[in-house]
Copies of this chain bind each other. A is one copy, B any other.
Amino acid sequence: MTTAELPTIDPIAEAIAVADQYTEPEPALEGEPTAAKDILIIDYSGDLEKVWATMILASTSAAMGVKTRVFVTFWGLQVFVKDSKRITGENWMQKMLSFMQRPGISHRKLSKMNFMGMGPWMMGVLAKKYGVASPKELLEAAQALGVEFIPCQMTMDMFGLKREDMIDGMSEPVGAATVIGLISENSIPLFI
């Protein structure tokens, strides 16, 4: 198989197509549908497979018209550093942490079966072959569809990350109180 044989992917169209599959209501659903709910993903992990899950759920949710927010914190925040950045942070400890684990959505590793990058490479090839968009493509789709990506202020401080280190289009950093506020109102949380 050569790259030329791989299908081209339009992730926004794909997210909308995935959402459009959901035309028929679930037959077995009991209970009254309640007021429209928001979805709040707490994106805690920087592992490739978890980032993928976050992006698939967020872009699908937004394509279905559900208000969707993603709070990115701890390892998860490293994913939203620009791919072009190599070393981040202000003091040697922060610089060392970024050196040991390269930030950016295109440099994620699997939590298992990473095999020096062979696992992620195989996942990428299989995803392309079966028409699944990459995490980066899904992130762009999610942003285009209106998903809010909200950085954790405390993580920004601890890792010495600055706004100019992060990808464009993120919301203002907030703290845990905003997360609890959203949950105790109408947001359904998914801790990924």
Given A19-B177, A158-B132, A180-B64: A34 and B36 within 8 A (CB)? no
Report the separation of the CA atoms of residues A96 and B36 in the bound assembly, to the nearest whole angstrom.
Answer: 44
Point out the residue from B30, B57, B60 that lies within 8 Å of A38, measured CB to CB.
Answer: B30
Q: Does A116 contact B (CB under 8 A)?
A: no
Report the separation of the CA atoms of residues A188 and B186 in the bound assembly, to the nearest whole angstrom.
Answer: 11
Say how many copies of this protein the assembly contains: 3
- Residue on B with the closest CB to A131? B157
Q: Which of A4-12, A79-87, A121-129, A162-170 contacts B (4 or more CB under 8 A)?
A: A121-129
Residues on B with beta carbons closer than 8 Å to the beta carbon of A177? 18-22, 60, 64
Residues on B with beta carbons closer than 8 Å to the beta carbon of A60? 175-177, 179-180
Q: 9 interchain pairs (CB within 8 A)?
A: A18-B177, A21-B175, A36-B184, A39-B183, A56-B154, A60-B179, A64-B184, A96-B122, A126-B158
Task: Give the 9 A-B residue pairs with the shortest CB-CB distance, closest first.
Answer: A22-B177, A60-B176, A130-B157, A31-B186, A61-B180, A93-B122, A126-B158, A190-B191, A22-B181
Additional 12 contacts, C-beta under 8 A, given A57-B180, A123-B158: A19-B180, A21-B175, A22-B178, A22-B180, A30-B186, A39-B183, A44-B49, A53-B73, A60-B179, A190-B191, A191-B191, A191-B192
Residues of chain A whose beta carbon lies under 8 Å from any beta carbon of chain B: 18-22, 26, 28-39, 42, 44, 49-50, 52-53, 56-57, 60-61, 64, 66-67, 73-75, 93-94, 96-97, 100-101, 112-113, 115, 119, 122-123, 125-127, 130, 132, 148, 154, 157-159, 175-186, 188-192
